[in-house]
Amino acid sequence: MLRQQRNKQHQPFAAAALLILASFFATFLISCAQEDRQAPVPRARRAGTGTAQPTAKPQIDPATVVAVIETAKGTIEFEFLATEAPETAKNFIKNAQVMYYKGEKFNRAEELLIQAGSKLAAGDTLPIENGSQEMSRGVVAMAKEEGASVSYASEFFICRGDAILDSEYTIFGNIISGMEVVDSIVVGDAITNITIRDKE
């Protein structure tokens, strides 16, 4: 009688032990079967549109850099008027970073200026930033329609002489080297690329 009671008391423990053992054995079999599968390859994180997220570029301070215009005839470098035309300078740097000007051709080459960059690019415009700089030889400015109150966001020109233009142009840079290259440019000459480097 006492032995039967003891056997009844041990039955729940035996059943629990058997259940744990069976669970362990099943886990072991599943893990062995998965060893033969190839590990999943990591995927690029995607935005809601299904395109890969671009890496954000840090914003560059125009006061600390120089633009380098590369052509087959040589290199032209200019510094930015960061205080007088900060937004235009930042926009030009952005265009250069995305290589917008790579392969662009000079569409004007006159006695007083050379000009490049498509004025029709997305129809973008910029507000005019008026500074104290005169429209003189060696300045870099944004192009615009005559009488317009905004500049094109991509088309720029470099003065070969003291251009007689109205004051409503954004002058955002000054040539620091390569003025002889500016003087040699003709219509159809291409910009190999425009890069941005730190000031020395």
Residue-level pLDDT at 131: 87
pLDDT(26) > 80:
no
Decide: 151 and 128 in contact? Cβ < 8 Å: yes
Among 16-20, 43-47, 194-198, whose mean pLDDT is lowest? 43-47
Instruction: Look up the CATH number of domain 62-198.
Output: 2.40.100.10
- Residues 130-166 have pLDDT tens digits of 888 889 999 999 999 888 889 999 999 999 998 767 6
Please compute the mean of the pLDDT values over residues 85-103 and round it to a whole number: 95
What pLDDT does residue 148 have? Answer: 87
Residue bearing the bigger pLDDT, 14 or 82: 82
Using DSSP's 3-state secondary structure scheme, residue 121 falls into coil
Q: What mean pLDDT value characterizes the chain?
A: 79
Predicted local distance difference test score (pLDDT) of residue 49: 37
Containing 71, the helix (H) or strand (E) segment is: strand 65-71
User: Cβ distance 162 to 135 under 8 Å?
Assistant: yes
Res 147: pLDDT:
83
pLDDT score of 8 more than 60: no
Query: What pLDDT is stored for residue 200 in this prediction?
Result: 86
Q: In terms of residues, how long is the chain?
A: 200
What is the mean pLDDT of the segment spanning 22-27? 57
62 and 43 Cβ atoms separated by less than 8 Å:
no
Provide the pLDDT confidence category of residue 51 given band limits of 50, 70 and 90: very low
- Kindly give the residue spans of alpha helices, DSSP state H, lying in 57-185: 86-97, 179-184
Interval 112-119 mean pLDDT = 87
Q: What is the pTM of this model?
A: 0.70
For the segment 166-197, what is each residue's pLDDT rounded down to a tens digit?
Answer: 668 999 999 999 999 999 999 999 999 999 99
The 10 Å Cβ neighbour count of residue 51 is: 9
Using pLDDT thresholds of 50, 70 and 90, give the confidence band for residue 54.
very low
- Which range is least confidently modeled, 37-46, 69-78, 154-163? 37-46
Q: What is the pLDDT of residue 145?
A: 86
Q: Report domain extents, the chain.
A: 62-198
